[in-house]
Chains A and B, each alone.
Chain A
């Protein structure tokens, strides 16, 4: 699916973001692979680009790290120049500009999510190619194919923060079970006006699922 160069480090991945009234819940697995070897089994794919704006990275590890670093730089400059925090839409737009204009040289499938004063919680998705989408919830990465059905059936508009967290845990947990490129622990973050709460969910704490 992703056109990685031989030997390039791959963020195989399952990542997702869900909006709720007051913020967003973002989640990711923690596996980075080079071929069949797991280069990092505790990766943090939830990357801060501003105080209340995170991106979830999947695709090439090198490409997504480089793009996120550049966007972080631009948002830092924005904050200095405007004397106010950028909106999630601004961050997503910057991601899109880089991903679209360099589409031939990048392998990145990114979800941008966070909280801002204007909109509250906001979620954007930028697939390979650099198009911009603004869904209520987004799933991405190689593991996302296995949970599209589960997510479409489970999601209800107007879920509470706790319901969104359970939804994310279940979805990423199911994807990890089925996708070889996803694994390790589940990293979660809840972003609201009051801050960012991060948590780690280990395999033995996963919601129950059929395992044979």
Chain B
């Protein structure tokens, strides 16, 4: 008799049969929340500027109108994520955790190439099944660096990058305007323009622009740097006048057995 030893690494495909059975009966699998997304990064005179929109979609529905796509990795490094929201959140969180331990073990500030290597080796191992398309930017002892990491594990090192469904819109802004040694204000303005280009021309991107400016000494995370999609004030008040519904009395019954009272506080 051999004991059944469950492998504790890699994907488990136990639910494939169950999912097939359910879908045969008409229960469709829920779609993963994708970030649709426009994310960008660029190098400027003093460091890097990262930018992202804030729309998360589940098929055609907007699941989150103001989600965070710029993830913390280390005090000197942030990572924008496009693709499957769960994968970008989990992967950046996991590598951020590994980097913290690495920094403690080595007694040094983590380097951007270290994060890039950990991310690409993880994604390559999963052969593209972890749907995370990342823009990694940061400043370390060797200077400012900007990388893109694709879901299959390939990386590119470039002075300006865009990813996500709105990447073509954003890249058109960069290709027409980017030049080396931009000032901080020029860089932030260009990132804002690139993300807004994605927000307005790509259906998978929308809502606000988040920006993160990383320099040698400082990180400025600007949540909602631009909010070009604020809901307009309603044209009229829809409040009903007091007395619209005729009040004839009140009666309160005992709650059902085992039921807890509902919290109706504001």
Enumerate chain A interface residues (CB-CB to B < 8 A).
5, 7-9, 32, 34, 37, 39-40, 42-43, 60-62, 65-66, 105
Contact A65 B158 (CB under 8 A): no
Contact B156 A39 (CB under 8 A): yes
Which chain B residues numbered 102 to 132 have a C-beta less than 8 Å away from chain A? 120-121, 123-124, 127-128
State the 6 A-B residue pairs at the shortest beta-carbon distance, nearest first: A61-B154, A62-B152, A62-B154, A62-B153, A40-B156, A9-B154
Pick the contact of B153 from A39, A42, A66, A105 — CB < 8 Å?
A66
B81 sits at the interface (CB 8 A) = no
Contact A9 B152 (CB under 8 A): yes
B33 sits at the interface (CB 8 A) = no
Digit string of B126-170 for contact with A (CB within 8 Å is 1, else 0)? 011000000000000000000010111111101000000001100
Interface-central residue, B151, B152, B167, B168, by most chain A CB under 10 Å: B152
Interface-central residue, A7, A32, A39, by most chain B CB under 10 Å: A39
Q: How far is A105 from B153 in the complex, measured between Cα atoms in Å?
A: 14
Contact B156 A8 (CB under 8 A): no
Q: How far is A42 from B127 in the complex, measured between Cα atoms in Å?
A: 25
* Other A-B pairs beyond A5-B127, A60-B152, A62-B128, 18, CB < 8 Å: A5-B128, A7-B128, A8-B128, A8-B152, A9-B150, A9-B154, A32-B154, A32-B156, A37-B167, A39-B156, A40-B156, A40-B158, A42-B158, A62-B120, A65-B120, A65-B153, A66-B120, A66-B124
Contact B168 A62 (CB under 8 A): no
Secondary structure class of chain A's binding surface, majority of residues: mixed
Which residue of chain B has the shortest Cβ distance to A39 in the bound complex? B156
**How far does the Cβ of A104 sit from chain B's closest Cβ, in whole Å?**
12
Q: How far is A65 from B147 in the complex, measured between Cα atoms in Å?
A: 14
Q: How far is A61 from B150 in the complex, measured between Cα atoms in Å?
A: 10
Q: List 8 A-B contacts (CB under 8 A).
A: A7-B151, A37-B167, A37-B168, A62-B128, A62-B153, A65-B120, A65-B154, A66-B121
The tally of CB-CB contacts under 8 A between chains A and B is 46
Contact A60 B154 (CB under 8 A): yes
Residues in A neighbouring B155, C-beta threshold 8 A: 65
Q: How far is A47 from B127 in the complex, measured between Cα atoms in Å?
A: 22
**How far does the Cβ of B162 sit from chain A's closest Cβ, in whole Å?**
10
Residues in A neighbouring B156, C-beta threshold 8 A: 32, 39-40, 43
Q: How far is A32 from B124 in the complex, measured between Cα atoms in Å?
A: 18
| A62 and B124 contact, Cβ closer than 8 Å, known pairs A5-B152, A37-B168 | yes
**How far does the Cβ of B203 sit from chain A's closest Cβ, in whole Å?**
17
Q: How far is A42 from B157 in the complex, measured between Cα atoms in Å?
A: 10
Residues in A neighbouring B151, C-beta threshold 8 A: 7
Residues in A neighbouring B127, C-beta threshold 8 A: 5, 105
Which residue of chain B has the shortest Cβ distance to A37 in the bound complex? B168
Digit string of B169-190 for contact with A (CB within 8 Å is 1, else 0)? 0000000000000000000000
Contact B150 A62 (CB under 8 A): yes
Residues in A neighbouring B128, C-beta threshold 8 A: 5, 7-8, 62
**How far does the Cβ of B77 sit from chain A's closest Cβ, in whole Å?**
21
Q: How far is A8 from B153 in the complex, measured between Cα atoms in Å?
A: 9
**How far does the Cβ of A109 sit from chain B's closest Cβ, in whole Å?**
15
Q: How far is A56 from B148 in the complex, measured between Cα atoms in Å?
A: 21
Which residue of chain A has the shortest Cβ distance to B159 in the bound complex? A42
Residues in B neighbouring A42, C-beta threshold 8 A: 158
